Structure 1
């Protein structure tokens, strides 16, 4: 996990124009709430949803440590209006989720617009970007998307639109392995978080649990949820065990001891040589356990 990212084991998306759902989401133990201006909001409600953002942020005590806004996609009539509205919102807004990202140019468009909007608003800190990849074009261009902006924090795989883009009918998790691997490789190559998209159902049944375990075992940092009942399962799956946390502490302690010596050399922990790859894994474990401070 990169040094500029926050843990996103579980992310819950809620419609920005539904005060009841927003209020309920604010009370949930989840790593990130995503207020949705895109798919969950009808075209005739876009302006109302955008206006509701101010109320949601000003009048809500969020239990989640991170709150994001999913804006409308580049090239839509609403994208620039959404981004300008987000720039006027200070903390706890930390990132915008940009849907249907298909090229580096899409990310660069958002980056440039935020630059100007933040200056106009006198914003105290920059807004990060999370790129939601959900088309065949986006999959093909993942390497360039991942390198497009220093604002970029996260790559997210979106299954519903991607299934439509590919013409895919099967819900078998094995059919998504190439897309999952491609997103993981691009994210890891550029020090970004990799998030698995939501299970396409409102239940928390065995198939949902299998999809969560699959994403965890592949190496994803977290997963989106679309119903509150799914959140506990997702958070638990991506939370390191006590044994993993103890191992990671040992690695970091050994690293600190090594670098504090006059001649820093190789060090072993329980017979394992501690190299940079091991340290990266240990830091990711502690970050997901919320024991590593990351802004």
Structure 2
């Protein structure tokens, strides 16, 4: 009988919930989309794994009146991507006139090459179901949905949205969320630092993170628009990862990718501890063990296994004892 992978033993039905790269990089202009895909391939070779998703953007990338042509462009780019590339597309919102055509073209032709479809401005479970139905109609019935929550009402429904079976990840749309308050939140609430201090913005972020973790989905943190201030970006990423429970973050400039990886990566000592404990647990057939003067069981094994997964997702070297669990073949199963 085949030996179960530690991921399935420790995470069970949520085995795939945390397997996404920690960085989701967006681009919508043709030259930048091509550069993003090339950079993804270069960094995958450097790190030994794909460390960010390349999301091709229709919502902000398509010129008004040129939505159909842009959908064809991103479809061709997705189809031409290198084997093993992680390519996604952000389509227009479900109430936009181009939504159905976006999904029919992109998912209909390139759904098998996409990792997921991102749907912006989701307000309710009905919007999620509308997107799922469109994917089904396009013949992409197994393609996961990532959704972008951008309003106070959508935040209120975050737990219901996260519970939908097709939703794999929820992102927080900072800029639209702030502007939806009619000036009640000052402009500083959209800044790298201010978004972590205004109570309404902070509450929304926590609601989304909590909803995702309640349903085994991936919470993805919003953008930092000050893309030339990498120190501010890395500080924001660290807060998102270590204080707010986010396991993924948007990038809108290539220079932001490496700081996001660094911020979401575990410390080397955490990786060494996790590897040693998992090795001990496996030798004990996952029974409780003593380690560094503490008693550990499957609850703590689960935590330390996730440390190893995050290390792999951020391109860190893993100790030999656990490296075999993170080959391309085993990671996918």
Count of residue correspondences: 282
What secondary structure is seen at the aligned counterpart in 1 of 2:284?
A: helix
Equivalent residue for 2:124? 103
Whether the aligned pair in 1 keeps the contact of 2:266 and 2:310 (CA below 8 Å) is yes
Q: TM-score, normalised by structure 1?
A: 0.87
Whether the aligned pair in 2 keeps the contact of 1:195 and 1:222 (CA below 8 Å) is yes
1:1-295 residue pairs with structure 2 within 5 A? 2-5=14-17, 6-15=19-28, 18-28=29-39, 29=43, 30-61=51-82, 65-85=85-105, 86-118=107-139, 126-149=142-165, 151-166=166-181, 167=183, 168-169=185-186, 170=188, 171=191, 172=194, 173-175=196-198, 176-218=201-243, 219-259=245-285, 264=287, 266-290=288-312, 292=326, 293-294=331-332
Whether the aligned pair in 1 keeps the contact of 2:161 and 2:167 (CA below 8 Å) is no
Whether the aligned pair in 1 keeps the contact of 2:57 and 2:91 (CA below 8 Å) is yes
C-alpha deviations, 1:164-223, integer Å up to 9, x for none?
A: 112422231222321121111111111111110111233233322221121121221121
What secondary structure is seen at the aligned counterpart in 1 of 2:197?
A: helix
Q: Which has the higher helix share?
A: 2
C-alpha deviations, 1:44-103, integer Å up to 9, x for none?
A: 12111101023202333378x421111111111122222222232144311011111111
Gapped regions of structure 2 (runs ≥ 5):
1-10, 44-50, 313-322
Whether the aligned pair in 2 keeps the contact of 1:159 and 1:198 (CA below 8 Å) is yes
- Which whole-Å CA distance do the structure 1 matches of 2:298 and 2:145 have between them? 27
Q: CA RMSD in A?
A: 2.2
Gapped regions of structure 1 (runs ≥ 5):
none
